[in-house]
Amino acid sequence: MRETDAQRKAHALEDESRELGWRDPKAAARTWREWCPEWLRGFYAEDSSDSTTESLIRVHIMPKWGDVRLIDIDRHEIKAWAKEMQVEAGIAATSAKRVINAFSSSLTAAVDVGILSHNPCAKLNLGIPDNPSERTYTQKEQHRLFSELPSVLDQALVAILLGTGCRLGEALALEARHFNVQHSTVRFRQTWDSHNRKLKTYTKGKKRRTVPIDNWLLDLIKPLLKARPEGYLFRSRGGVPLDVANWRKRVWNKCSDEIGLNSAGKERGSIHTLRHTYATEQLEAGLSLAEIADLLGHSSITTTERYAHRRSKVGKKALGTIRDPRRAPKPKKRQKPRETRELPSNVIAFPGGR
């Protein structure tokens, strides 16, 4: 389809969506601010693991579209908005796309319930790749981060995220009973929903998995296992898991800014970057994509998954790839130039030696 034809069709669909009401004549005349709570009720019921959505709404979506009627949301304005976020607000292209995706989800929901006939965000070409390269932390950055963490509890939490590649909600739901010190493994079987402040007895994708852990991580976690044999390991005084927003502001952001992880000219890192770092280092260590997917909980449940925590090939390979971040990386040694000596005239020199 030619570009002009595609634009004509998109505009026709927009005109159609302006016809007030499929079911309720006044429904499409509501502002996005009025529609947002209704959308979120259904959205979080399906995917409450998206803890960043609330922030995206507050910082980016609500100021732009809060007072705009649903039928007045324009496709061209959305594309211009995406560029504004990158140029004027200075956020990364991938972050802009996350904002657009969240906004698009709200409009798709409006289509599903018959408020709009078409999502103006649908098939919106923003020129941003779907799978950009992910930011990872170098060994030097990992060491500097650990040096700034204020407490042993904070170090243990970051160590779990870095050393197992788990999601933050999975780490916050961990209890002592999920660790097998003898076999050096940890079992992820539940997650903490920080948005609704409740425990889910399953992980994202409903996949339970066992991940091997290195000795340096065991050293960090053992005192915590001994001190808290019951209940959540990473908990506040009230016994519930740490407040994510508070911990991010009080510990993570402060430490990251202190050591320059989010400095100008460098792609901004996040707590989730620890998971990307784990996956990248496993890949560089020689694990296959299928094996890494198994460790991260990306693949579907298989019949043999229940035996993964015993003696799996994945488990053996995975150990040793993440180094102890408490230790500073050793500086690379300069290689001394090799001494050469003149060979007798009757000796033939072969490249590379014998």
- Report the C-alpha gap between 105 and 44 in whole angstroms: 12
If you average pLDDT over each of 15-29, 122-136, 260-274, which comes out highest? 260-274
Q: Is residue 342 very low, low, confident or very high in pLDDT (cuts 50, 70, 90)?
A: low
CA distance 294 to 301: 9
Q: Write out the residue range of the structural domain in which residue 156 sits.
A: 139-318
Smallest CA-to-CA distance from 277 within 325, 214, 208, 221 is with 325
Which residue did the predictor score with more confidence, 105 or 178? 178
Q: Within 10 A of 270 (CB to CB), how many other CB atoms are there?
A: 17
CB 101 within 8 A of CB 54: no
Residue 5's Cβ-count burial label (10 Å; 0-12, 13-18, 19+) is exposed
**Domains contained in the chain, number:** 2
Number of Cβ within 10 Å of residue 37's Cβ equals 8
Q: Are residues 40 and 176 in the same domain?
A: no
Q: Which two tokens stand for residue 55?
A: 């922030």
Residues 193 and 252 in one domain: yes
> What are phi and psi for residue 235, nearest 5 degrees?
-125, 160
- Please tell me whether residues 310 and 207 are part of one structural domain: yes
- Identify whether 353 is part of a domain: no
Q: What is the DSSP letter of 307?
A: G
CA 206, 209, 213, 218 torsion-angle sign: positive
pLDDT band at 354 (very low <50, low <70, confident <90, very high): very low
Q: pLDDT tens for residues 34-86?
A: 999 989 887 654 443 455 688 889 889 999 999 999 999 989 999 889 888 87
Do 238 and 304 belong together in one domain?
yes
Flag whether 99 is in a domain.
Answer: yes
DSSP 3-state of 196: coil
Lowest mean pLDDT among 192-196, 315-319, 322-326: 315-319
Within this chain, do residues 40 and 186 fall inside the same structural domain, yes or no?
Answer: no
Answer yes or no: is 295 within a domain. yes
Residues 191, 276 share a domain: yes
- Whether residues 308 and 190 share a domain: the answer is yes
Q: Give the integer Cα–Cα distance in Å for 158 and 152.
A: 10
Tokens in use for 45?
A: 């019921």
Cα 334 off chain centre by? 37
Core vs surface per residue 195-223: b (16+ CB within 10 A) or e: beeeebeebbeebbbbbbbbebbbebbee
344 or 154, greater pLDDT: 154
Judge if 167 and 284 occupy the same domain. Answer: yes
Same domain, 247 and 296: yes
- Confidence category of residue 136, pLDDT binned at 50, 70, 90: confident
Q: Tell me the angle at which helices 152-164 and 215-227 cross, rounded to the nearest 10 degrees.
A: 130
Give domain status of residue 334, yes or no: no
Pair (86, 191) in one structural domain: no
Say which amino acid occupies 191.
T
CB 134 within 8 A of CB 273: yes
pLDDT for 10 equals: 57
132 assigned to some structural domain: no
Tens-digit pLDDT profile for residues 237-287 = 889 999 998 998 899 988 988 888 765 445 667 888 898 888 888 877 777
Burial class (CB in 10 A: 0-12, 13-18, 19+), 119: buried
Lowest model confidence (mean pLDDT) among 6-20, 99-113, 132-146, 312-326: 6-20
φ, ψ (nearest 5 deg) of residue 212: -70, 150
Is 60 exceeded by the pLDDT of residue 309? no
Average pLDDT for 196-222: 89
Q: What is the pLDDT of residue 173?
A: 96
Q: Report whether pLDDT(226) > 80.
A: yes
Same domain for 168 and 266, yes or no, is: yes
Select from 77, 112, 147 the last residue of a domain: 112
CATH of the domain at 269: 1.10.443.10
236 inside domain: yes
For residue 272, which amino acid is it?
H
Decide: helix, strand or coil at residue 235.
strand
Residues 146 and 292 in one domain: yes
The sign one gets for the Cα dihedral 84, 86, 89, 95 is positive
Q: Does 167 fall in a domain?
A: yes
- 301 found inside a domain: yes
pLDDT tens, residue by residue, 155-165: 999 999 999 99
